[in-house]
Homo-oligomer: A and B are copies of this chain.
Amino acid sequence: MTLLVALTWDPKPWVDRFELHLPEYPVAVLGNEFDRSAVRYVATWGPKPGSLSDLPALEAIFSLGAGVDHLMGYPNLPDVPIVRVSQDDLTHRMSEYVVMHCLLHLRDQRRYDAAQRAKQWDADRTPPIAGDVRVGVMGFGVLGQDAARKLQLMGFDVAGWSRTPKTVQGFEIFSGPEGLEKFLARTDILVSLMPLTPETRGILNASLFAKLARDGQLGGPILINVGRGGLQVESDILAALDRGILKAATLDVFQVEPLPTDSPLWTHPRVTVTPHNSAVSDPDKTARYIAQQIRRHEAGEPFQNIVERSRGY
């Protein structure tokens, strides 16, 4: 029996952590020689076509990150449970990112950054407080709910949007296409935390931006996308910024990653670019989580956080 690590980046920190937290399991690395018939589990992110085939003893695939869209389009994906890694520290990091960037927009900190570069004492303004600003969290799963709760604790007026009707105490949650317009009409800062599915691909486009609130306290609606780059139409974001439909955008994900050097997003004065690091999986904590799931499974208990293939997340 073997755990196969199938990554497109340096697997060493992951192998080390699996050997530490799951010492009973030999670890194989895709690219090296290993016995395919011994592989019982795969830990992967963005596996290359073919790398998951011909594993007759496979019992589960662990996805090393919050989303599983990297697996959903995989040809001949083995018919075993796909387990999402959703450990607390990834959730914390995501909420820290979302709260920080909402506060940066609330306080117009980028204006102060520019003033500092120009050595200007730009003091004559009273920013709104969080309670004056409506944040809309689109995608209200584990990550969306944690971010929403922390935004609310900081004082923001938070609502959610979910594909299917959902009840979470303390939040107004809109749902479905019919709830989307109302949700957008009360949103000053849109936080996108949706999974990437055929339904959500390209959903952050000109038509959606035009429906965001125009009567807010921030001088125009703001987009924060921390879901997947495939959710957004970057040419529409740039056009909306230049036409005043969007005031600013914070993007952690892109249609092509790494973001190509010639993308105008890098240098747009009202765009913040971060390198898809809003919620990095920590190898140590992730390996611990997977070890725990494997031990549950081998003790006859079900895996937690199994992906529902029909909906794609």
Contact = CB atoms under 8 A, between A and B. Distances in A.
A40 interface: no
A303 interface: no
A248 to B, nearest CB: 14
Range, interface on chain A: 35 or more
A111 to B, nearest CB: 10
Copy number in the complex reads 2
A234 to B, nearest CB: 15
Given A109-B100, A131-B92, A153-B153, A266 B123 contact: no
A119 interface: yes
Interface stretch (A54-62, A186-194, A236-244, A267-275): A267-275
Contacts of A131: 92
A275 B107 contact: no
Given A92-B130, A96-B129, A113-B113, A123 B275 contact: yes
Contacts of A113: 113, 272
28 contacts: A89-B129, A92-B129, A92-B130, A93-B127, A95-B154, A96-B106, A96-B107, A96-B154, A96-B155, A100-B100, A100-B107, A112-B275, A113-B113, A115-B275, A116-B273, A119-B261, A119-B266, A121-B257, A121-B258, A121-B259, A122-B275, A123-B276, A123-B277, A125-B280, A126-B280, A127-B280, A153-B153, A153-B154
